[in-house]
Amino acid sequence: MFAVSASQAVYAGSALPKVLIIGDSISEGYTPHVVALLRGEAEVSRIPENGETSAYGLEHMDDWLGSTRWDVISFNFGQWDFCYHNPALPESNDRDKVHGSIAISLDQYKANLEKIVERLQKTHAHLVWENTTFVPEGESGRNVEDAIRYNQAAQKIMQQHGVAVVDLYDLTKGFEPGLFKRPHNVHYSDEGYQKIAVAVAQGIRQSLPASVHRSP
């Protein structure tokens, strides 16, 4: 029986390869489409919350990994890291790249990613990094240049560790306005998430083990 919830999808009693998706709300948007694209090829689950910053991910990684033996782990951190917040504004709407402070500095981001990759490699899963999606001009809490700088830093770390990379930045940079949820926003319409999911699913598919033997 195939079941899908907002946070994860589970094949009951499945012997298919197990895939974990780690990420922020953007991954929440594309996960259901990845599930559909990999149906019959993999059992796809997602962490049960917003992955937020790399610091938050590092803190919660053991809980997210649990005791499951994952075959592929798809992961991303970035949008929350280079978001600027102004403590003088209400917490629910405190994004402010003019007067605010960046959540996670580039140096700390790199240090966090190093530790995250090292932790994930201990699972012996195949790792797939999705680089951070495009930041539209006019986004209130993020700069386009930061997305590029943080992606470049992450790219070097993934290359050093031999981690596969799916380029979601160039993909989403070419999106038409209608594929975004609304103007000047980093989220996407359902059609936009479908297009992102194709790239994510392909990256996961290329990392799936040729054969997986599991006890029933």
CA pair distance 203, 216, nearest whole angstrom: 27
Q: How confident is the model at residue 92 (pLDDT cuts 50, 70, 90)?
A: confident
Cβ pair 9, 1 in contact under 8 A: no
In tens, the pLDDT along 114-161 reads 999 999 999 999 999 999 999 999 999 999 999 999 999 999 999 999
Start-end of H helices in 22-67? 25-37, 54-65
Rounded to two decimals, the pTM is 0.90
Across the beta sheet with 72-75, the strand order is 43-46, 18-22, 72-75, 126-130, 164-166
Cβ pair 164, 207 in contact under 8 A: yes
CA pair distance 84, 76, nearest whole angstrom: 19
CA pair distance 21, 3, nearest whole angstrom: 17
Q: If you average pLDDT over residues 71-75, what whole number do you get?
A: 98
Q: If you average pLDDT over residues 76-85, what whole number do you get?
A: 97
CA pair distance 61, 65, nearest whole angstrom: 6
Q: What is the mean pLDDT of the chain?
A: 91
CA distances 203 to 44, 61, 132, 163, Å, are: 13, 22, 15, 11
Q: Which helix (H) or strand (E) holds 176?
A: none
